[in-house]
Structure 1
């Protein structure tokens, strides 16, 4: 990123420049990550960028998310990404567990090492809430068009199974594995809607029954995530990376006791 004569970052950074120059983690999502890709599948890319700390010291703040620059690409600023992950946002959590990682640096590796810190029993509420909204839309499609959007129905089944298995095992696995052909049959419209709807109801019931016995903690580990974010911001301000040297020592904001460089 260019700087002015005083060595400061520009007042406003291009969103695409932030993605190009400050991405800490990038992966492929969608059907390719879920093991459901066909020859016609798009490549959905997701990423996380760490906006330079200096940009937050100005009136115009860096964007919390950026579309592009490639088609089907979306990136979040690190703090926004962590906020959504702590809320158990299904799309964000699945992004953290993608098997198709395209780019990762030191900060990104530390983010991935925190995957368990974001998981909690809150996933039941958020996944179920998202699923309820999708099911409502599918039923509206059936009333209006005589059939649901079968691709959406397939992905909803996948999400419900993923939620159930996460609550049962404490592990989020995006790839559908042996369920691939069964789900693709739904996408092709080969399974009657009432059968699909019954499967959805059964998966929802199984997820509900798994909550009380789930190995997941009741709450996410916000303290670990806050410590990571603090060190990432501080590392950006000092020109260091979190996890490097003195920056990685201590539990958080109160741990810094050394002089700032140049003082």
Structure 2
């Protein structure tokens, strides 16, 4: 099975991200698509494991395998948490709906560290641009302000909202380079300070709910394995199935060997 076949045939959740999900799109904006697929459990029984992520099919599309998606989400990865909160859902099945119902299980005070840590890395890149060219990449500056505002509001309320809302026009003015860099810097510093202040009384739990997410993943893997069982039984029911060529009288060299995949 090719990696892109996993996305095509086993996606449980797909959404639009980027400027369109944030409410900051213009006519020139790309459409960034993100998704989650569930690799069939029997693929994990081989030496060569299924991919943890796949690019494509198509441009601007990226998907994670469910386990990797959950692992990153429990770490508070901003991309994953925002993906779970996209207002633009393009596909969701029963497994995807259960994943979305677990959005709160991924949220914790870890998100403050990951969001602000990512923001700090982006700020360093912007500062480097200013030193080299005299100006930042304004689009990146806009998205950094949006991210800091999301981090502050998440820390304050315990809920993640990724849309720009009534900040849209102010943010787009930054993207167009209409706001002086010194003012953008002041806004960044203020938002970071407000997020730090909110952390002291944040309703977020200290850690995400690992147990709920682990139980969900286990049930998804088990259901996938059970769906594969009829095919495996049908092979064993064939006379001579499991006989290994080159072994006297079809002696089996070990558990599970000799049975066609």
TM-score range, shorter chain: 0.7 to 0.9
Match for residue 75 of structure 1? 63
Match for residue 198 of structure 2? 210
C-alpha distance in 2, partners of 1:124/1:172? 11
Give the one of 31, 37, 50 matched to 1:43.
31
SS in 1 for 2:220: helix
Match for residue 235 of structure 1? 223
Matched, 1:189 2:184: no
Matched, 1:147 2:141: no
C-alpha distance in 1, partners of 2:227/2:194? 49
State the Cα distance separating 1:98 from its structure 2 match.
0.1
State the Cα distance separating 1:119 from its structure 2 match.
0.1
State the Cα distance separating 1:212 from its structure 2 match.
1.6
SS in 1 for 2:67: helix
Task: Give CA-to-partner distance per residue, 1:40-77, whole Å, 9 cap, x none.
Answer: 00000000000000000001100000001110000000
State the Cα distance separating 1:239 from its structure 2 match.
1.5
SS in 2 for 1:239: helix
Match for residue 13 of structure 2? 25
Task: Give CA-to-partner distance per residue, 1:204-256, whole Å, 9 cap, x none.
Answer: 0000001121111010000000000000000100119xxxxxxxxxxxxxxxx
State the Cα distance separating 1:148 from its structure 2 match.
0.3
Matched, 1:134 2:125: no
Matched, 1:180 2:168: yes
Superposed structure 1 runs of 4+ greater than 3 Å apart:
none
SS in 1 for 2:68: helix
SS in 1 for 2:39: coil
Structure with max Cα Rg: 2
Match for residue 104 of structure 2? 116
Matched, 1:104 2:104: no
C-alpha distance in 2, partners of 1:16/1:207? 40
Gaps of 5+ in 1: 1-12, 241-263
Instruction: State how many pairs are aligned.
Output: 228
**TM-score (normalizing by structure 1):** 0.86
SS in 1 for 2:29: coil
Gaps of 5+ in 2: 229-261
C-alpha distance in 1, partners of 2:65/2:176? 37
Give the one of 19, 44, 50 matched to 1:56.
44
SS in 1 for 2:42: helix
C-alpha distance in 2, partners of 1:98/1:186? 23
**TM-score (normalizing by structure 2):** 0.87
C-alpha distance in 2, partners of 1:86/1:118? 5
